[in-house]
Amino acid sequence: EISACLVGSEMCIRDSFLSFIFVPKVSAQIDSLAQEGERQYVEPESFPASLNMITPPEGFEVTDRFNGYIHYKTGSAIIMTLIKDATYLTIAKGMTEEFFQQNKLTLLSERKVLTDNGTKGLDYKFSFVIQDVDFIRHMIYVGDLNQTLWLAVTYPKMGEELVEGEILKCIQTINLNADRDEK
């Protein structure tokens, strides 16, 4: 579970932070050319995404606790996963009311994303409560025909005014080809 505690006037993240990650079920379907009426399924694979695929907000630093960035003073985190063989549109099919209820999420908004380099995606904004602390989670899926970058961004609701705008700017910087551009 994700949890945060107050230490003086700063938020700190407890060790249980990483075990609270939501993943919608995904299977990309492809018509079988061998026999009519059969379906062949490509099982999506997930990998740690290159941290170069985003420009993190100021104050967020790389962490060895998970693949992504953390901001200790606000108790905020950006977890980055690359999903191969699943488009963001396919993943969106798994974002159902049943999924939200199973994970005790309240959907606050859903919006289309168009990054600064023209890549499309979706941003789901949720609220949830753990140990009487209100949290906000953005689940951002941005991609192309072959891969999707998934950002799971979590922060305490009490820090929303400070963090939200910076996260939205960060989403705009997503570049799926960051590693290729550097070579």
**What tens digit of pLDDT does each residue of 156-170 get?**
999 999 999 999 999
Q: Which pLDDT score, from 0 to 100, does residue 24 have?
A: 56
The yes-or-no verdict on residue 29 having pLDDT over 70 is no
Q: Taking the model in full, what pTM does it have?
A: 0.78
Q: Which DSSP state fits 63?
A: E
* Model pLDDT, residue 9: 28
Please choose, from the candidates 112, 96, 103, 117, the residue with its C-alpha nearest in 3D space to the C-alpha of residue 178: 117
pLDDT tens across 122-179, in order? 999 999 999 999 999 999 999 999 999 999 999 999 999 999 999 999 999 999 987 6
